Amino acid sequence: MTSVNRRRWLFALLMLVALAGCGPNRVVVDGNFPPPLIEPLPLTLGVWFGDDFALHEFSEEAKGREESSWVVNTGAAQIKMWDSLLAGMFKQFTVLTSPPPPGQSGPVVDAVLIPHVEELQYAIPAHTQIKVYEIWIRYRFELVSPGGQPIAEWTMSSYGKTPTAFLQSDQEAVNLAAVMALRDAGAHFVSQFTQIPAVQGWLQEQGIPSRAMTR
């Protein structure tokens, strides 16, 4: 290899490294989500995780040279958290492989929950040395009969903040903020579920007195 070719090869290699370094920060959220310490409702609940939920990913392009682009994948962590939560909230719980068929014979469950992530926002620290991030998630829930008839629909918000600035990386800080937001969502869902008026009416139809779940 001539010296000219060697220089060209080194220049091309350096350009590839530089371009790789300009890519977005990617985070696949992962964490632990203990089940709630409550008395489960004596019901069988099915849940349908649509692709918009199971593969949920949030991305945002950098708006300036001092900012970074982000791709935050919450789908797997969402399912992990809601699986743990709902399994603790109901006597029996099953994940459906397809949505309840409208007007047809549905799965053998008392109702089906269909969660959606309507919006996810995050706040980046102004100074890169302070790795404290904030994440907000807004959910929309549908509770339907096994045949797909609506029972209740409501929205709920959750919030998570990195509890410490002493973390090794921005990605680690974003992951922890997302985990905190998911845990906050679980706590709100537990406390609010039986307080939704339409859910209260449905519970009474099932012969279950309206009551708040306690930890």
Q: Which tens digits make up the pLDDT trace of 203-214?
A: 999 888 765 444
Is residue 199 included in any domain, yes or no? yes
Examine residue 53 and state whether it is found in any structural domain, yes or no: yes
Q: How many domains does the chain have?
A: 1
In terms of pLDDT, which residue wins out, 2 or 212?
Answer: 2
Say if 88 falls within a structural domain.
yes
* Intra-chain end-to-end CA distance of the chain, in Å: 71
Residue-wise pLDDT for 113-150, tens only, equals 999 999 998 887 654 556 778 899 999 999 999 989 99
Q: Is 18 domain-assigned?
A: no
pLDDT for the residue numbered 104: 60
The answer for residues whose C-beta is within 8 angstroms of residue 39's C-beta and 6 or more apart is: 213, 214
Phi, psi of 167, deg, nearest 5: -120, 160
Q: Average pLDDT in the 164-178 region?
A: 80
pLDDT at 61: 65
What is the rounded distance in angstroms from the CA atom of residue 29 to the CA atom of residue 153? Answer: 27
Q: Is residue 114 part of a domain?
A: yes
More confident call, 41 vs 172: 41
Residue 90 placed within a domain? yes
Going by C-alpha positions, the residue among 83, 75, 77 that lies closest to residue 47 is 83
Whether 184 maps to a domain, the answer reads yes
CA distance 97 to 35: 23
- Give the range of the structural domain holding residue 121, as residue numbers without chain letter: 24-205
**pTM for the structure as a whole:** 0.80
| CATH (domain of 49) | 3.40.50.10610
3-state secondary structure of 134: strand
Q: Is 214 part of any domain?
A: no
Give Cβ neighbours of residue 74 (< 8 Å, ≥ 6 apart): 29, 56, 57, 58, 117, 120, 137, 178, 182
